Each structure stands twice: as structure tokens, then as C-alpha cells.
Amino acid sequence: MIKRMSYISHARATLALGLPLVGSHLAQMALHVTDTVLLGWYGVNELAAVVLATSMFFVVFILGAGFAQAVLPMVATAVGRGDEAQVRRDTRMGMWLSIGFGLMSYPIFWWSEALLLALGQRPEVSALGQDFLRIAGWGMIPALLVMVLKNYLAALERTQVVLWVTLAAVGVNLGLAYALIFGHWGAPELGVRGAAIASVAVQVLTCVLLAIYAAWLPALRHFRLFQRFWRPDWPALHQVFRLGWPIGVTSLAESGLFQATALMMGWIGTIELAAHGITMEVAALSFMVHLGLSNAATVRAGRADGAQDRQGVRDAAVTAIALSVAFGAAMVVLFLSLPVPIISVFLDESKPQSAEIIAFGVSLLAMAALFQMADAMQVMALGLLRAIKDTRVPMIAAAISYWGIGIPSGYFLAFHAGMGGIGLWLGLVIGLVFAAVTMMWRFWHRVR
């Protein structure tokens, strides 16, 4: 008979696992912000080019990262049932698929100028974007391998190293990018190419460090992760692919929801778009906490599922949901209590348009309070469903929620009901609420 843990014990275990992952996600955000800030100092065209180029890179990356994310629940389940060989097989095949995806995606980056021009971007910005992507594209494979290794280590509850390596990557990227973009410390001035070289170097370094840790740490050495790495395991490859591609499509659908909303906000006006961007940054910061807790829930529930402990799955879910709701409630209070100070952090209040941006941003931050809870519940539901290897139905639910309900609702409310930018955010909330409700129902129906 499996001994049942108390909710307090579950909460401690979830926080011990989840808090380093939260820090890692926040550090990953800082990694991307660094390049944006440095190129903003360097030049307007260079900044615009890299913003577009990194958006293109990110869209391709999140599609391929589905295979890496599949490793988390698969390894957690294998650990739960004590199958060390399957831990190794699933992780290796996640790496194989990531390498294959990275190789297939590179032509997109090589010929990216034509794609950017076709999307209506200016010739000089498109050319600079291609200069960046032709170099940065070589970082796709190490970036995906880093994602696989992070999920492998998280499933083995080795999340501290993930945090420290990511924090180190932020520092290295800052120094390298600063030197190579501006030509400091004896380095050549390379502009956008310098940012791309720094990005690739950091991804390779991060990959090597995590691989060394995974291969040689005494507590992990018995998994023999890289022994006979070239040997295929077709059943494991099929399982990672079957579980992973819907995860990638789900992430792409969610990302597309936010990209489309930003595009439509730009149709309304510059002030509204600026306020939208600031509010999204604030929401993204708080979302990282929910994402980290969701990852922890995947591991905790996945291990219980592997041990055939259905009550343990339910207890892990209740604990993670309660922690996420508690943090979300605190953020709702913060957003509603201090909207002006929060928005003002991102602005120079001496500039004439700042007052208008703050006024509209306050309204959007109130919507973000609603958005906060819905987004928290949908990402938690996704994490729990992945723990029990359910990814295809959530993919369909996400596509319907975001593209069949969220975007049309936002468009109608903004442009036909006269609600403007508030209507677009209400559309986001509607889509996310529908996703959260359907996915939570799906999970509890599966584990009842």
C-alpha cells in the first residue's frame, strides 16, 4: 500500500522543486531582454531588426521545444516506476528529435530576408534581420538540447543547477554581447552579428555545462545518459514524437494568440500598443511563477502516475493549484492596488505621451488581474495533463480556445462593440478562461 503524503509535505516538495524553476524562467527572460537593451543603445534599425528576428526564432523554437517538453513527464513517470533504462532512452530520443528539428529549421533562417520582405518589413531591417538569423540559427540545436537537459534534470529534481547555469548564462551573454556589439575590450564592432555570435556562444556553453553535469555527477552517472548515444530506440522515439508534437503546436497556438493581439492593438494606436507592451511584460513576469509551479506539478504528478498512485496524482494537483491560486490572488491585489507605480517603472514620466500611456495602462492592468487567474489555471492544467501523457486533446482545446474563441471575441469587442484595446484584452481573458475550464475538466475527468 502506498503511503499518502500530507498536503503540507506536498507543498514543501512542490516549492522546493518549483522555486528554482521560477528563477530559471525569470533568468531566461533576462537573457532576451539583455540583447534588446544593448541594441536599443546601438541603433534603431538594428533594434527593430533583432526584435523581428528573435520573434521569428522564438516561433520556430517553441514549435521544436515540444519534444524537449515531452521529456519532463516521460522521465518523471519512468522514475516513478523505477525504470532507469527508460529514463535514458526517452531523454536521448528527445535529443535526437531536437537535433533533427534544428537541422530542418535552418533554411528558414538562411533565407529569412525574403520572408521578412514578404511580411511587409523594410528592406534595410529585413537585411539586418537575416544577418542576425544566419548566425543565430546555429544556436537552435544547442538551445533545444539545453531545453531537453533542463527538463531531464527537473524530472530528476535537480532544479538548482538549472537555475545557476541560467543565471551564469545571463552574465556571460551580457559581457559577450556588449563587447561584440559595440567593439569594446579589443573585440571587433559587429552590431547585430555580434549579438548573434554571443547568443550562439552562450547556448553552446550552457549545453556543454548541463551535459557535463548530467553525465558526471555521481548521483546521476548510473543513468549513463550519453553512453552509445548514436544507438536509436525507435519505440522511445515514437513515444517522444507522439507526445511532443502536440505540445509544440499548443505552445504555438498560445504564442500566436498574443502575437495577433499585439498586431491588432497596433491598429488601434501607438499609445495603446505601448501600454499593451508594458502590461504584457508585467503579466509575463508573474506568469513565470505559474509556469514554474506547473513544471513542478508535471514532475510530482508524473512520478505518482509512474508509481500507479492515482491519489498521489490528485494530491499533487490540488497542492500545485492551491499554490498557484494563492500567488495569483496576491498579484491581483497588487495589480489593482498599485497600477500607476507599476506602469510608471517602464516610462520616463517627463515625456509628453507618458501620462496617456499610464492612463490606458491602468485600465489594461485591471484586465490583467482577470487574465492572471485564467492564465495560471490553463498553464497548470496543461502541466498536469502532460504528467498523465495527455497532449493531443489539450492541443485541440487550445486551438479552439485561442483561435476559435479568443481572437474572434477580441476582434469583435474591440472593433465592432467599440471597446478598443480593453475589448482585445477581454478577448484574451475569454479565450484563456475557456482553455482553463476545458483543460481542468479534462484532467479531473481523467484522474477521478
Q: For 187-248, give the secondary structure using H, E and C.
A: CCCCCHHHHHHHHHHHHHHHHHHHHHHHHHCCCCHHHCCCCCCCCCCHHHHHHHHHHHHHHH
C-alpha–C-alpha distance, residues 440 and 331, integer Å: 22
Do 311 and 257 belong to one domain?
Answer: yes
pLDDT at 122: 75
Q: Is 240 inside a domain boundary?
A: no
Chain CA centroid to CA 204, Å: 19
| Largest Cα span, the chain | 68
Q: Is 8 inside a domain boundary?
A: no
Do 193 and 113 belong to one domain?
Answer: yes
Do 46 and 96 belong to one domain?
Answer: yes
Do 51 and 147 belong to one domain?
Answer: yes
pLDDT at 284: 84
Q: Is 446 inside a domain boundary?
A: yes
Do 201 and 264 belong to one domain?
Answer: no
pLDDT at 384: 95
Do 104 and 126 belong to one domain?
Answer: yes
Q: Is 427 inside a domain boundary?
A: yes
In this predicted structure, the answer to whether residue 1 has a pLDDT above a threshold of 90 is no
Q: How many domains does the chain have?
A: 2
Confidence band of 44 (pLDDT split at 50, 70, 90) = low
In this predicted structure, the answer to whether residue 2 has a pLDDT above a threshold of 70 is no
| Per-residue pLDDT tens digits for 259-314 | 788 778 878 887 887 788 788 878 888 888 999 999 999 989 988 888 888 898 99
Do 269 and 387 belong to one domain?
Answer: yes
Give mean pLDDT, residues 161-190: 88
Q: Is 312 inside a domain boundary?
A: yes
Nearest 5°: phi and psi at 207? Answer: -60, -45
Do 104 and 157 belong to one domain?
Answer: yes
Do 108 and 187 belong to one domain?
Answer: yes
Domain boundary among 182, 199, 232: 232
In this predicted structure, the answer to whether residue 378 has a pLDDT above a threshold of 90 is yes
Q: Is 1 inside a domain boundary?
A: no
Mean pLDDT of the chain: 87
In this predicted structure, the answer to whether residue 33 has a pLDDT above a threshold of 80 is no
Do 256 and 290 belong to one domain?
Answer: yes
Give mean pLDDT, residues 37-54: 76
Domain range for 127 is 15-232
Do 142 and 163 belong to one domain?
Answer: yes
Cell numbers standing for residue 41? 543603445
Q: Is 5 inside a domain boundary?
A: no
Do 250 and 307 belong to one domain?
Answer: yes
Confidence band of 3 (pLDDT split at 50, 70, 90) = low
Q: Is 305 inside a domain boundary?
A: yes
Least confident of 142-156, 179-193, 342-356: 342-356
- Within 8 A by CB and 6+ apart from 170, the residues are 27, 30, 31, 34
Domain boundary among 199, 232, 265: 232
| Per-residue pLDDT tens digits for 194-253 | 989 998 999 999 999 999 998 888 888 887 878 777 888 889 899 999 989 999 999 888
